[in-house]
Amino acid sequence: MADRPKLTTTAGAPWPNNQDSISAGERGPLLMQDYQLIEKLAHQNRERIPERTVHAKGWGAHGVLKITGDISKYTKAKCLQPGAETPMLARFSTVAGELGAADHERDVRGFALKFYTEDGNWDLVGNNTPVFFVRDPIKFPDFIHTQKRHPRTHMRSPTAMWDFWSLSPESLHQVTILMSDRGLPISPMHMNGYGSHTYSFWNDAGERYWIKFHFKTQQGHKHYTNAEAEEIVGKTREGYQEALYNTIEGGDFPRWTMQVQIMPEADAEKTEYNPFDLTKVWPHADYPPIEVGYFELNKNPENYFAEIENAAFSPSNVVPGISWSPDKMLQARIFSYADAHRHRLGTHYESIPVNRPKCPVHHYHRDGEMNVYGGIISGNENAYYEPNSFSGAAEDRSAQEPPLRISGDATRYNHRTYDDYKQVRELFVNVLEDDEKVRLYGNIAGTWGDVPEVICERQLAEFKKVHPDYEAGVRAAWEKIKAEGGYKPNAAPVTDATPQITRGDAAD
Ligand code: NDP
Ligand code: HEM
């Protein structure tokens, strides 16, 4: 006992008895003055913070980004210069499930990275897919409602998912990837990460380039079928946590190769697709990926809550040399994440150790929730506003990025005029192997167990516009399920609705 630390209260006072409450007599009621009992119960009541509204279930680790290539002519970002090594944090996640959801569920995976650079934190908050379900953020909350629980049944609703997707053809690309093998990786280590959006680089000469970020798994792609995943979930709901934690604990550090696609600024006017449309990739043949370096995850968190649950990743966190693009989804995310963090973690969430930059921080924000780090204010007692005459922190004009060229009349532009089929067709025809296509058909039809027929038919019509074989394959898988008695459409009254015409309809 002699070498064990002494138990104390949260105020540091020695604590004599952590087993017995104070009662009035051996069989009597408890006393208000049993401060430590009240403290323990009160703390327990406050142990949970709001879970992330999406991407609640996650797994994370610390690591390092190492730059081996040379992209210095495109960006002045210090963390991307040849030879740079930057400490980092990664958090992987599923999108729809709550904090206690099973890991091996078919879903898009989040791929969030925080780089603690000498110029402040750079967060790249991506997914394991290069595209997304919608291209206008005004549709994001509706889309997420279809992924979460039905307000009355409190169950997940494939009807809602397929209703929304079948009415939103821009989702076809992401739905196809989600329902293909890549929709169910065996672990976070066996999947790629993508920045997904178009970002930009800028250099000392004031030139801007459009950028896509890619992180290619060095562990290889590995996936489970739905049947394999069901068996695993029957045994453990924490399969990803076990895989990532145990691999790192065993000293076998997973790595991802970092690549960028680079588009000269003026090309954005020329590509047949909108390069700021999140439902599109940039074909590799047009913009070949350039190798930049790799990152390695080599340290598990000491405390999951402090370092992973408390982590706040935000696309608003960029550093000089890296910036955003006109991508409408990205513009909305620049607002949304920091707002979520103020709600979920508190106003000064960036003073929580895992979010705190590893470089000096001087700003003029003042008091508020979570301001636990007085030095963050300005380090000078009289310089608590700006401008001031007391040597307070001053602006750094070298961090000013080049002007973003934009033009046009402000209105609500109809994004339905974009093609939603060509790139999905290329994926279907040129990339997916025949056996993967068969699994794709089965995965889709397998979720239609109770979806009203009119919604399934509407979705089949969309698959047909991608390729007749796509529609025929899903229909055949659906017919097989029907024949086996596995299709019992629910009785939800369905009113007529049609997806708006897109340019791809006319092209076919
Ligand atoms: P490429 O043939 O040059 O690239 C195809 C890419 O598809 C591969 O490099 C790989 O990307 C990815 N891929 C390979 N197998 C699968 C799979 N089973 N499921 C999903 N993706 C897979 O052609 P393009 O660049 O012209 O792209 C063709 C289509 O490939 C696109 O329409 C898109 O659907 C898909 N794709 C394209 C990506 C891109 O950034 N251009 C990225 C991912 C998919 P990776 O190396 O990233 O694993
Ligand atoms: C988490 C909003 C699109 C990837 C979140 C959170 C919000 C949010 C509010 C919770 C943040 C938190 O509590 O810490 C949005 C909005 C979007 C959008 C409004 C579109 C307009 C996307 C896209 C991607 C993405 C396109 C990927 C390319 C992620 C990831 C997380 C996340 C990885 C989890 C981050 C973590 O691990 O902490 N999103 N999102 N989101 N989102 Fe999005």
Residue 383 in contact with residue 392, Cβ under 8 Å?
Answer: yes
- Alpha-carbon distance of 103 to 391, in angstroms, equals 52
The model's confidence at residue 506, banded by pLDDT at 50, 70 and 90, is: very low
Determine whether 152 is exposed, middle or buried from the number of CB atoms within 10 Å of its CB (0-12, 13-18, 19+).
Answer: exposed
- Alpha-carbon distance of 474 to 438, in angstroms, equals 9
Please choose, from the candidates 59, 161, 45, the residue with its C-alpha nearest in 3D space to the C-alpha of residue 101.
59
**pLDDT above 70 for 357:** yes
CB within 8 Å of 357: residues ≥ 6 apart: 116, 120, 121, 350
The model's confidence at residue 1, banded by pLDDT at 50, 70 and 90, is: low
Distance of CA 480 to the CA centre of its chain: 36
388 is catalytic: no
Residue 234 backbone class (left: φ over 0; alpha: ψ -120 to 50; beta: rest)? alpha
Q: Is 104 in the pocket of ligand 2 (CB under 6 A)?
A: no
Which atom of ligand 2 is nearest to 110's Cα? Answer: 33
- Each residue of 47-81: pLDDT tens digit? 999 999 999 999 999 999 999 999 999 999 999 99
Among the bound ligands, name the one nearest to the CA of residue 216.
1
In 129-238, alpha helices (H): 140-147, 158-166, 172-179, 226-235
Q: How far is the centre of ligand 1, averaged over its atoms, from the C-alpha of 408 (Å)?
A: 33
Please report, rounded to a whole number, the percentage of residues in the chain having pLDDT higher than 70. Answer: 96
What is the structure's pLDDT at 415? Answer: 85
DSSP state of 3: T
Catalytic residue among 62, 104, 121, 127: 127
| 3 state DSSP class of 370 | coil
Please choose, from the candidates 225, 176, 217, the residue with its C-alpha nearest in 3D space to the C-alpha of residue 427.
176
CB within 8 Å of 341: residues ≥ 6 apart: 312, 314, 349
**pLDDT above 70 for 16:** yes
Residue 412, number of CB atoms within 10 A of its CB:
7
The model's confidence at residue 495, banded by pLDDT at 50, 70 and 90, is: confident
Beta bridge partners of 117: 120
Residue 320 in contact with residue 401, Cβ under 8 Å?
Answer: yes
What is the structure's pLDDT at 378? Answer: 52
Q: Is 477 in the pocket of ligand 2 (CB under 6 A)?
A: no
| 3 state DSSP class of 348 | coil
Mean pLDDT of the chain: 94
- Each residue of 193-208: pLDDT tens digit? 999 999 999 999 999 9
What is the structure's pLDDT at 487? Answer: 96
Q: How far is CA 436 from CA 462, 469, 473, in A?
A: 20, 13, 12
What is the structure's pLDDT at 500? Answer: 60
Distance of CA 63 to the CA centre of its chain: 18
**Residue 324 half-sphere exposure, CB side, CA atoms within 13 Å?**
18
Q: Is 126 in the pocket of ligand 2 (CB under 6 A)?
A: yes
Residue 88 in contact with residue 258, Cβ under 8 Å?
Answer: no
**pLDDT above 90 for 380:** no
Residue 221 in contact with residue 186, Cβ under 8 Å?
Answer: no
| 3 state DSSP class of 477 | helix
Among the bound ligands, name the one nearest to the CA of residue 430.
1
- Each residue of 420-463: pLDDT tens digit? 999 999 999 999 999 999 999 999 999 999 999 999 999 999 99
The interface pTM score, or ipTM, of the predicted complex is: 0.98
Please choose, from the candidates 72, 100, 74, 63, the residue with its C-alpha nearest in 3D space to the C-alpha of residue 295.
63
**Binding site residue list for heme:** 337
- Alpha-carbon distance of 218 to 293, in angstroms, equals 12
Q: Is 275 in the pocket of ligand 1 (CB under 6 A)?
A: no
Q: Taking the C-alpha atoms of 357, 358, 364 and 367 in order, what is their torsion angle to the nearest 10 degrees?
A: 70
**pLDDT above 60 for 379:** no
**pLDDT above 60 for 365:** yes
Tokens of 450: 């109770």
| 3 state DSSP class of 395 | coil
**Binding site residue list:** 337
Q: Is 55 in the pocket of ligand 2 (CB under 6 A)?
A: yes
Q: How far is the centre of ligand 2, averaged over its atoms, from the C-alpha of 181 (Å)?
A: 23
Which atom of ligand 1 is nearest to 214's Cα? Answer: 47
- Alpha-carbon distance of 239 to 81, in angstroms, equals 37
**Is the link from the previous residue into 387 a cis peptide, with omega within 30 of 0?**
yes
- Alpha-carbon distance of 201 to 78, in angstroms, equals 12
247-256, 294-303, 485-494: which range is least confident on average? 485-494
Which atom of ligand 2 is nearest to 50's Cα? Answer: 13
What is the structure's pLDDT at 502? Answer: 55
Residue 113 in contact with residue 89, Cβ under 8 Å?
Answer: yes
Among the bound ligands, name the one nearest to the CA of residue 93.
2
What is the structure's pLDDT at 507? Answer: 37
Q: Is 139 in the pocket of ligand 2 (CB under 6 A)?
A: no
Supply the pTM of this predicted model.
Answer: 0.96
What's the rounded mean pLDDT across residues 151-170?
97
**pLDDT above 90 for 343:** yes
**pLDDT above 50 for 335:** yes
**H helices then E strands: how many in the chain?**
13, 10
Q: How far is CA 31 from CA 7, 12, 16, 215, 314, in A?
A: 22, 22, 17, 58, 47
Distance of CA 37 to the CA centre of its chain: 40
154 is catalytic: no
Distance of CA 26 to the CA centre of its chain: 55
The angle, 0 to 180 degrees and rounded to 10, between the axes of the packed helices 158-166 and 453-466 is 40
**pLDDT above 60 for 491:** yes
What's the rounded mean pLDDT across residues 366-371?
84
CB within 8 Å of 316: residues ≥ 6 apart: 123, 333, 334, 335, 337, 338
The model's confidence at residue 3, banded by pLDDT at 50, 70 and 90, is: confident
- Alpha-carbon distance of 113 to 116, in angstroms, equals 10
Q: Is 57 in the pocket of ligand 2 (CB under 6 A)?
A: no
- Residue matched to tokens 């709550």: 98
CB within 8 Å of 435: residues ≥ 6 apart: none
Which atom of ligand 1 is nearest to 182's Cα? Answer: 19
What is the structure's pLDDT at 438? Answer: 98
